[in-house]
């Protein structure tokens, strides 16, 4: 029989980070199934660059290296960044983004626990602004592509920029479903015409909708294991759904259904793995609701009216700026404290 006291030992940072990385595996597995193993190369490159940069920065700051390398925080940043950029991205793009995320976004502010911005999203933002062409070469999923690259051919392009003879980059890559949607709308097409295109499935893009489902399953595991609370993912997805639904009801010919937005782009991985970063998100339940709602609205506005096809990264960073203010105004009242003038 069990006896009191019923006190559980709190999980360490390394254990929490490891569980979050394990929760990413269903989405990664589906990513490999639909797009090939190139994403595993990006994850490996980012992981090596993250650990090397973490060690170098700790040495420069005269901090112990081993305990911080073992907390898995640098690896998680690397995985999230790698999953946010095209799997056929050249090796140097992955390395540059990871080095910037770890050295500037994390250690420049004092290391883990002090960074005001999500490091992976800072790395993504730097890459999409600095190298927009390389950040648009997304692999065509298996159900859609007519020409597919083997693993060795993917390696050849990632490290040497060389494709098999007779193949062009346009033959093996495509615009994302969100980018295609925005482009076709600007060309005057209607939603019904766009959704009839072969790249779209029942919910969103073929392949990408299943990858999003994999990340959602991983997110449910995080909720079940109480690694994260419900406030951030549920409110974010609910706000994104409600905002998209409002525009769709007003003009269904030019605004796609809300489910399309939930299963496109980085909505699922953002809801469960990026917004829930405990360092860069609010600490109070009410603050988390405000933070997630703001991110959901900004994501939709950028997708529908902005210059980028997906707004998850920029919505996260914009709301990261507001976290100190949100925390300051959502602190619960302290009982027993005498108010001034009474």
Q: Long-range contacts made by residues 29-34, C-beta under 8 angstroms, separation at least 24?
A: 29/214, 30/210, 30/211, 30/213, 30/214, 31/83, 31/87, 31/211, 31/214, 33/142, 33/210, 34/141, 34/142, 34/143, 34/206, 34/207, 34/208, 34/210, 34/211
At 47, is the secondary structure helix, strand, or coil? helix
Is residue 324 over pLDDT 90? yes
CA–CA separation, 105 and 111 (whole Å) = 9
Q: Which residues lie closer than 8 Å to 66 by C-beta, 6 or more apart?
A: none
Specify the DSSP class assigned to residue 197: S
Q: Is residue 341 in some structural domain?
A: no
Q: Are 132 and 204 contained in the same domain?
A: no
Q: Report the pLDDT value the prediction gives residue 10, as an integer from 0 to 100.
A: 64
Q: Are 73 and 53 contained in the same domain?
A: yes
pLDDT band at 4 (very low <50, low <70, confident <90, very high): low
* Total tally of structural domains belonging to the chain: 2
Residue 45: domain span: 11-173
Q: Are 190 and 166 contained in the same domain?
A: no
Q: Where does a domain end: 143, 173, 203?
A: 173
Is residue 164 over pLDDT 60? yes
Q: Where does a domain end: 140, 173, 206?
A: 173
Q: Is residue 209 in some structural domain?
A: yes
Q: Is residue 338 in some structural domain?
A: no
Q: Report the pLDDT value the prediction gives residue 69, as an integer from 0 to 100.
A: 87
**16-30, 121-135, 137-151: least confident range:** 137-151
Q: Are 161 and 104 contained in the same domain?
A: yes
Q: Report the pLDDT value the prediction gives residue 317, as an integer from 0 to 100.
A: 96
Q: Is residue 333 in some structural domain?
A: no
Is residue 129 over pLDDT 90? yes
Q: Are 137 and 34 contained in the same domain?
A: yes
Predicted TM-score (pTM) of this structure? 0.91
Q: Are 149 and 228 contained in the same domain?
A: no
Averaged pLDDT for residues 6-24 = 83
Most confident of the ranges 140-149, 196-205, 331-340: 196-205
Per-chain mean pLDDT for the chain: 90
Residue 174 dihedral angles phi and psi, to the nearest 5°: -155, 165
Q: Are 196 and 226 contained in the same domain?
A: yes
Q: Are 235 and 259 contained in the same domain?
A: yes
CA–CA separation, 323 and 318 (whole Å) = 9
pLDDT in tens, 229-273: 999 999 999 999 999 999 999 999 999 999 999 999 999 999 999
Q: Is residue 335 in some structural domain?
A: no
CA–CA separation, 149 and 167 (whole Å) = 10
CA–CA separation, 231 and 236 (whole Å) = 8
């Amino acid at each position: 029989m069990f006896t009191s006291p019923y006190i559980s030992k709190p999980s360490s940072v390394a254990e929490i980070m490891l569980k979050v990385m394990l929760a990413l595996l269903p989405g990664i597995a589906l990513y490999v199934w639909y797009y090939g193993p190139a994403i595993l190369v990006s994850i490996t490159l980012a992981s090596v660059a993250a650990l090397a940069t973490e060690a170098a920065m700790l040495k420069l700051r005269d901090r112990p290296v081993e305990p911080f390398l073992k907390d898995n925080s640098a690896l998680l940043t690397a995985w999230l960044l790698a999953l946010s950029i095209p799997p056929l991205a050249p090796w140097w793009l992955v390395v540059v983004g990871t080095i910037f995320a770890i050295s500037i976004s994390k250690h420049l502010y004092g290391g883990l626990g002090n960074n005001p911005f999500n490091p992976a999203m800072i790395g993504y933002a730097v890459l999409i602004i600095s190298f927009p062409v390389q950040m648009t070469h997304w692999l065509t999923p298996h159900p859609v592509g007519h020409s597919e690259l083997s693993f060795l051919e993917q390696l050849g392009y990632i490290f040497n920029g060389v494709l098999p003879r007779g193949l062009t980059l346009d033959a093996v890559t495509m615009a994302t479903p969100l980018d295609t949607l925005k482009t076709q709308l600007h060309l005057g097409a209607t939603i019904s015409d766009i959704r009839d295109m072969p790249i779209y499935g029942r919910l969103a893009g073929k392949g990408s909708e299943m990858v999003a489902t994999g990340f959602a399953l991983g997110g449910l595991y995080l909720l079940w294991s109480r690694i994260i609370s419900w406030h951030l993912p549920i409110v974010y997805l609910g706000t994104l759904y409600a905002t998209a639904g409002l525009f769709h009801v007003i003009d269904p010919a030019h605004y796609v259904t809300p489910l399309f937005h939930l299963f496109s782009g980085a909505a699922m991985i953002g809801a469960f793995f990026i917004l829930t970063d405990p360092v860069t998100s609010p600490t109070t339940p009410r603050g988390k609701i405000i933070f997630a709602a703001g991110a959901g609205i900004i994501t939709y506005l950028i997708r529908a009216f902005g210059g980028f096809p997906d707004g998850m990264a920029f919505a996260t960073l914009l709301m990261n700026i507001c976290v100190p203010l949100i925390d300051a105004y959502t602190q619960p009242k302290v009982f027993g404290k005498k108010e001034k003038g009474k």
